[in-house]
Amino acid sequence: MREIKIDAPGAGAWIMERVDGVFRDRVDHSFSSHEDGEILGGFALTGYMGLAMSIHMAAGLTVIGLLAIRIVWRVTDPPPPPIATPLGNLLISISKFAHFALYALLAATPAVGILVQFARGDALPLYGLVEIASPWVRDRAFAGSMKEIHETLANLLMILAVVHATAACVHHWIFRDRTLARMLPGIAR
Ligand code: HEM
């Protein structure tokens, strides 16, 4: 089992050690079942690794919250109809599918992340305030499968986000339409 050591000189090191110490206690508790170091390839989930996972989970939970707000917003204030492109209805159908897939991946990725945590028998920390206990006992094989799915979904999400942003740029600079510009507040949709 390897621990991550802090090795920075001067005031920076002092601050990093304080931060590490504060989070180490809190995080070690949540991740105690990782202390065998197996899941993280030899690294104990303490210090910065634990802090990184706490931030990761808090960010993922925030994605779920923001997604819920966005879905309510979209239902109550639907987007304007798509602007016609030189490629016709095919592109519009592809973009509708891509938007649906983006929402589905934004929901599924953090949801499966929560399953990874529970499958490891670990509690789910809610922003360091409270924890939801795992409803399951630790099942390493199931946790491994869930982790694979979680990573695959996360990779698909990143790829689709890049494709989506590229498509927006194509609208703006190649088709020269208002698809991107009309997202700005104050511009007629
Ligand atoms: C949209 C939100 C999320 C994205 C994009 C995401 C992405 C990822 C990625 C790429 C990994 C693989 C890291 C690696 O091993 O290289 C990972 C691992 C993991 N994620 Fe997430 N995640 C999200 C939300 C969550 C949430 C909400 C939780 C739980 C509350 C979570 C729990 C985990 C766990 C337990 C691992 C395994 C870490 C390990 O190797 O021990 N994730 N996530």
Return the residue whose CA atom lies nearest to atom 28 of ligand 1. 113
Q: Which among 40, 54, 56, 155 is the best mutation to test ligand 1's pocket, defined by most ligand atoms within 8 Å of the CB? A: 56
pLDDT tens-place string over residues 26-62: 444 434 444 433 344 333 456 788 889 999 999 999 9
Atom of ligand 1 minimally distant from the CA of 106: 1
Residue 114 Cα to ligand 1 middle (Å): 9
Q: Which atom of ligand 1 is nearest to the CA of 124?
A: 30
Write down the pTM of the prediction: 0.78
Q: How far is the CA of 148 from the centre of ligand 1 (A)?
A: 10
State in Å: Cα 151 to ligand 1 middle.
Answer: 7
Contact 142, 82 (CB under 8 A): no
Q: What are the pLDDT digits (tens) for 72-121?
A: 999 999 998 999 888 888 999 999 999 999 999 999 999 999 999 999 99
Which run of H or E residues covers position 163?
helix 140-169
Q: Please give the angle made by the CA atoms of 42, 48 and 53, to the nearest 5 degrees.
A: 85
pLDDT tens for 3-19 read 444 444 455 455 555 55
Residue in 106, 116, 127 to alter for ligand 1 test, most ligand atoms within 8 A of Cβ: 116
At what angle are helices 89-119 and 140-169 packed, to 10 degrees? 150
With a 6 Å cutoff on the Cβ, whether 61 touches ligand 1 is yes
Domain spans of the chain, in order of start? 10-183
b/e map of 6-42 (b: 16 or more CB within 10 Å)?
eeeeeeeeeeeeeebeebbeebbebbeebeeeebeee
